[in-house]
Structure 1
Amino acid sequence: MKRIVTLVAAAALIMGLAATASAELAVKAAGAWRVHGNVLQNFDDFDDDATEQTFDVRHRMRTQFRFVYNENVMGELYTEYGNVTWGSGPGQYNATDGTTIDVKRAFIQFRWPDTDMLITAGEQDITLPSSGAFSNIVLGGSDGSAIAISSPITDMVGLTVAYARLDDSAATAHSTFDAYVAALPVSLDGMRLTPWFTYAQLGSQSDFAGAGQTEDGNFWWAGLGFNMDMLDPIVLYADFTYGSASDEVGDTSGWLIDAMIEFKGLDFAVLQGFGAYSSQNDDGDGAMPVVDSDFTVGGSLINGSSFSPGDLGPAAPGFWLVGVAARQITFVEKLSHDLIALYAKGTGDGAAGFVEAAPLTADDSYWEVDFNHRYQIYESLAAVVELAYADYDSDTLDTDPLMKASFGFHYKF
């Protein structure tokens, strides 16, 4: 309760400051709030367990406050409250498991005088580049402590360099995990390319270090995100990523390629066909190292739900998949539907790939069908229903079908 009072007091202070600030300072608010119920069956491990809870209700509120002094100087405070499970009791508001009111991002952003160089320093989005059809499998959907510098080189070519400290939890020698990123976005007529490179050094005492590691490790990744709309109404997307890790625990390297073709020539729907392949050899290694995967097929159970826990989490290397989708199906004003179907298998004998609940080998398979619905009640408020059915066929596990029905509201402002 004290945290709620503190948040209310902080909000009142922010608005009071906005009212008394100089004419140059503008305080802007934006947010994404949701409340939803979930009916889930066999969702944790595809096992028909009578003790599994099948229904819960949750809410999460993300709110951004931007303090804009002028076109050259801005600061952002981005808070998150939730996910809160209804009925968990007052203790949840002071918990340390993500149900509290947290600071998601907090950074300063400014342009260097008399240049187009944009500098962002603080807690910020550190997602690596991608084509936009799939999120980055190495590091995506993440916030972290970093400084990033972006600047145009020409009208078509830009440059972004960044340093991020991904971990310093132990605050002792060799406890850090540092990443250095460079990206070169290229915008051509009807085409966009983003080659990027990341090098990281992992301290032996970091929370990310492997068991038994006593020496620092080295990682690097190189990738290319591509999308092209010059063939309108056809849009093409593709990503290629290669990564390697070297430390005393062992060396591993691998790659991922994904692609999507999208047809926007219909008045009532957008059609998509997509696929992806990530390497893994028969010994279970040979897979690309990852920091925090965000690989997703939007709207699916693979990290694609607009609610949580409405999906199985992001995919990890060691799988291939193919799928089709019809999105934004609209026959009635304000009401739209997405229909997604996909099939996946592992790419080696190891079971490290795909999602946590379905660690695929080459002998296992997984398929799912999603049918999601959205009714735009007002411009800022939507009612959403997500339905899904999935089946995981494993050689080593006794599994049962997974079923999901999630329903709730999105408020975006």
Structure 2
Amino acid sequence: MKRILTIALVAVFALGAFASAQAATEVKMVGDARIYGVFFAEHNFTGWNNASWTSNTPTYNRAGTKTEDRFEIWERFRLRSDFVANEAVKFRLGIKVEDTWGHGTLTAANPEVAIAVYQAFLQFKWPGCDIEVTAGLQDIDLPISKMFYGNPVFGGDRIASLVINAPLIDNTLGLLAGFGRLVDANRTFDTTTTQVADEFDVYFLALPITLDGFKATPWGMIGVAGKNATYFTTSGSTFSSQNFAENLVSAGTFATPALWKNSQNAYWWAGTSLELTVLDPIKFYGDVIYGAGAQADRKKSQRGGWFIDLGVEYTGWDVLTPKVFGWWSTGEDGSTRNGSERMPQVRPNWGPGNSFLFDDSQELAKNSNMGMNPVGAWGLGASLDNISFIEKLTHRLTYTYLRGNNSARAIRDINALMGSNPYFVMGRDLTVNEYAMGVNFDSKYMIYENLAAVLETGWAHGEFQTSVWGHRLAEKARSGDSWKVAFGLTYKF
């Protein structure tokens, strides 16, 4: 016991000495906490699981083998600590805990320790100028216009990267350039004496332009995708059913001879976000993106396509903000032998008006939406946002309709080859003969300045082809519509 006390005292004195030595470093902490319950019926329009990858061979579990548990209570805590040396240098450490009550960390008996690091970066300004350098695990969002949440290529997620942010013309033109490593499957040593391409790297550049009443951000990204990176087991979206594989490759990639021929394939994207506010209070928003990849590989493995969105809002009323929006994206043609006509994606996170159909801006985020894919589809919608007739209470009402641009034959062919598979999923990817619609009504009441009570509700209905997905899944989707009710508390400090 004396020995333990001695060690403890030494440790305390050592920490005190360290704190004194580092007295010049200021520590700033901010964070948030969310505790909420979610009732969700008919996940994936069926109440059953989607198909999911289980290895990089690749192998997968089929859809419709598990039944939903309709009620969960989620708890999330995030703490961001900035260690500030001076106004030019800091290091940020962000940690989080997120799980359901009764599982993992939040289990009463023998709880697991599940504190995760989601931010860890060094940030500094180059001496004598305003060029800012950020290196480490950080959030990266490719440009997207203000009407829409997240970029359909890569948005709203973290990446280990080096980013340079520099003003070129004060308040008019900037530069954002960076490099990120998304996957390095084997790290220091490959599994045999033969080296393999097991990395997935991206290089990105954006040039935000700001003028009076107008803002545009042209941008581009290049990805170098190694054949042996873990695309099938590394999640590519915050919605748990999607991985890198189905976002990047073509359906023909799975036909014999399977997977890529090349050890590395290049992917590239170019686009611009646009915001026109010169007619304020009428404001226009839009995005145009083209992306392609694996163009030097077999014809059946190539992928490329367009994505366009457009939105208008009126901000002249205090009691609400009406919005209308739409989008269009190229879809699969009738053949899988000529590659894919859909735009490749990396970590998609796109959606308007907090729509229940998409993984987008839900505050009560886990188990919050239908996880549908806007790529390979077109759609229209309207939203009444910032509705406020009572002090501290706001509402949002959104309706969204989408229809597929994918040939039924293309999806039918890959389903005939693979069976129920994670590449094309009923309720996520639509044919030209299928549609879905969704409504969400969301409310927030500010109990205190930093404490809110949040209610999010959603309803969705879809029509799906039996000849494409099979009688079992399509018929189950007709037995009842999907809906959710989520209620909880959010606290920011």
**TM exceeds 0.5?**
yes
Report the secondary structure of 1:76's partner residue.
strand
- 2:107 aligned with 1:114, yes or no? no
Partner of 1:102: 116
- 2:179 aligned with 1:163, yes or no? yes
Tell me how far 1:91 sits from its aligned partner: 7.9
1:169-184 correspondence runs (5 A): 169-171=185-187, 172=190, 173-184=196-207
Runs of at least 4 residues off by over 6 Å: 15-19, 352-356
Change (3 A) 1:62 1:315: farther
Change (3 A) 1:286 1:245: same
Report the secondary structure of 1:362's partner residue.
coil
Tell me how far 1:103 sits from its aligned partner: 0.4
Tell me how far 1:104 sits from its aligned partner: 0.3
Tell me how far 1:25 sits from its aligned partner: 2.3
Partner of 2:359: 303
- Which protein has the bigger helix share? 2
Q: Residues 316 and 355 of structure 1 are in contact (CA less than 8 Å); yes or no, is this contact kept in structure 2? A: no
Partner of 1:148: 163
- 2:289 aligned with 1:241, yes or no? yes
Q: Residues 445 and 454 of structure 2 are in contact (CA less than 8 Å); yes or no, is this contact kept in structure 1? A: yes
1:207-246 correspondence runs (5 A): 207-208=230-231, 212-215=259-262, 216-246=264-294
Equivalent of residue 343 in structure 1, options 401, 413, 417? 401
Partner of 1:364: 434
1:7-406 correspondence runs (5 A): 20=20, 24-47=24-47, 51-82=67-98, 84-88=99-103, 89=107, 94=112, 100-134=114-148, 135-155=150-170, 156-171=172-187, 172=190, 173-208=196-231, 212-215=259-262, 216-246=264-294, 247-248=297-298, 250-283=301-334, 285-301=340-356, 302-304=358-360, 305-307=362-364, 308-313=366-371, 315-349=373-407, 350-351=410-411, 357-396=427-466, 397-398=474-475, 399=477, 400-406=480-486
Q: Residues 235 and 261 of structure 1 are in contact (CA less than 8 Å); yes or no, is this contact kept in structure 2? A: yes
Q: What is the rounded CA distance, in whole Å, between the counterparts of 1:35 and 1:157 in structure 2?
A: 41
Q: What is the rounded CA distance, in whole Å, between the counterparts of 2:329 and 2:424 in structure 1?
A: 10
Q: Residues 207 and 218 of structure 2 are in contact (CA less than 8 Å); yes or no, is this contact kept in structure 1? A: yes
Instruction: Determine which structure has more spread, i.e. the larger CA radius of gyration.
Output: 2
Q: What is the rounded CA distance, in whole Å, between the counterparts of 1:356 and 1:412 in structure 2?
A: 38
Change (3 A) 1:36 1:178: same
Number of equivalences: 396
The gaps in structure 2 that reach 5 residues or longer are 1-11, 49-63, 191-195, 232-244, 250-257, 412-421, 467-473
Tell me how far 1:178 sits from its aligned partner: 0.8
Change (3 A) 1:389 1:316: closer
Q: What is the rounded CA distance, in whole Å, between the counterparts of 1:45 and 1:20 in structure 2?
A: 59
Q: What is the rounded CA distance, in whole Å, between the counterparts of 1:271 and 1:185 in structure 2?
A: 27
Q: What is the rounded CA distance, in whole Å, between the counterparts of 2:17 and 2:378 in structure 1?
A: 53
Q: What is the rounded CA distance, in whole Å, between the counterparts of 1:124 and 1:403 in structure 2?
A: 34
Q: What is the rounded CA distance, in whole Å, between the counterparts of 1:93 and 1:289 in structure 2?
A: 40
Change (3 A) 1:164 1:90: farther
Tell me how far 1:315 sits from its aligned partner: 2.6
Q: What is the rounded CA distance, in whole Å, between the counterparts of 1:154 and 1:64 in structure 2?
A: 32
| Cα-to-partner distance string for 1:71-110 (whole Å, 9 max, x where unaligned) | 110110011111x111223689537xxxx21100100001
By relative contact order (CA 8 Å, sep 6+), the higher-ranking structure is 2
- Which protein has the bigger strand share? 1
Normalising by structure 2, report the TM-score. Answer: 0.75
Normalising by structure 1, report the TM-score. Answer: 0.89
The code of the aligned residue for 1:137 comes to P
